[in-house]
């Protein structure tokens, strides 16, 4: 899938391309036996992903920091799809305490969990630390999702084993993973303010999303768990994610408008990775426009992936003790 395919919308080997929408890639798929959690499912491509998954019959749990907005989004969906099954639970990914509370609340519902879509994120924000004292983009985009996934993993394994249905985890990454710090992941300088770059910090967090998916996939395969883990790039879409760089993005879009997608197109690859039967057994892959796509050398570095896993695991444990 090159620039020509992106511009033209021509489909790739999957039969879909940059012009495909979330509804198109899930056409005729029955998801009525699935329970799905999506972080950040109340706005932007997360909301469209929620709408389409619910339209296909899935029971969708929106994990959102702003529960008022999430419940409003839920009502809008229900107005058009009265049988949609949607619940809302509070989740602030920049807070490990909130992540733990969300996982406990979900488990209290006594529901199965087939699919986890790690969709929420923050982009190009000025330097600041999370309540746990971690650089905000790394904390929100990677560490919160890393911890959340680990907390929900036993439930996903149990669901896959008892139902016989393959579990799927989808990490929303970005082509921005190509633009990161020189070391890829700055393990010794995660919180370094003096050398902070909002763009490179975002790229670092998106690289972390791919490395997390690849290492988790490796571990699950070793266990023989019936769960796949993939990462996706949704494309260039003007959403609230760009609130810290809105003017810059508007100018960029003016000169590169043919490369941009609308929201239904932006949600397509997430929905494809979550539901399409053609991806059964496919794991540790990166998808762009619903087709497998190569990543950076950093993203395919198995040692770096393991190092990030160990670093993240130790960081979570140390923050819980403090």
Nearest to 311 by CA among 190, 181, 154: 190
CB 16 within 8 A of CB 279: no
**Which residues are identified as catalytic?**
196
**Geometric angle at alpha carbon 219, from 216 and 225, rounded to 5°:** 100
- Both tokens assigned to 175: 């082509």
- CA-CA distances (angstroms) from residue 288 to 124, 164, 236? 21, 28, 11
Q: How many residues does the chain have?
A: 322
- Both tokens assigned to 18: 């940059």
CB 131 within 8 A of CB 187: no
CB 290 within 8 A of CB 12: yes
């Amino acid at each position: 899938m090159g620039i020509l395919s992106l511009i033209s919308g021509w489909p790739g080997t999957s039969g879909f391309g940059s012009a495909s929408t979330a509804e198109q890639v899930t056409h005729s798929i029955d998801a009525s036996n699935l329970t799905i959690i999506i972080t950040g499912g109340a706005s932007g491509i997360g909301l469209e992903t929620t709408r389409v998954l619910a339209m296909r019959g899935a029971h969708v749990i929106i994990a959102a920091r702003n529960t008022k907005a999430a419940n409003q989004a839920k009502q809008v969906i229900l107005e058009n799809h009265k049988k949609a099954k949607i619940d809302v639970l509070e989740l602030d990914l920049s807070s490990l305490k909130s992540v733990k509370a969300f996982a406990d609340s979900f488990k209290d519902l006594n529901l199965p969990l087939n699919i986890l879509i790690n969709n929420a994120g923050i982009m190009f924000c000025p330097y600041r630390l999370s309540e746990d004292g971690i650089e905000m983009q790394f904390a929100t985009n990677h560490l919160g999702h890393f911890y959340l996934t680990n907390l929900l993993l036993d439930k996903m394994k149990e669901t896959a084993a008892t139902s016989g249905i393959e579990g799927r985890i989808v990490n929303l990454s970005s082509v921005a993973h190509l633009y990161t710090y020189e070391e890829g992941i700055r393990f010794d300088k995660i919180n370094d303010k003096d050398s902070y770059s909002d763009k490179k910090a975002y790229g670092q967090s998106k690289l972390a999303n791919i490395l997390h998916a690849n290492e988790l996939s490796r571990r699950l395969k070793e266990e023989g768990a019936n769960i796949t883990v993939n990462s996706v790039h949704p494309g260039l879409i003007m959403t609230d994610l760009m609130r810290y760089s809105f003017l810059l993005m508007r100018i960029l879009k003016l000169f590169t408008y043919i490369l941009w997608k609308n929201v239904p197109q932006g949600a397509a690859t997430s929905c494809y990775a979550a539901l399409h039967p053609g991806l059964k057994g496919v794991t540790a892959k990166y998808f762009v426009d619903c087709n497998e796509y190569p990543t950076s050398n950093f993203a395919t570095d198995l040692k770096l992936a393991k190092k990030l896993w160990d670093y993240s695991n130790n960081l979570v444990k140390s923050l819980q003790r403090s």
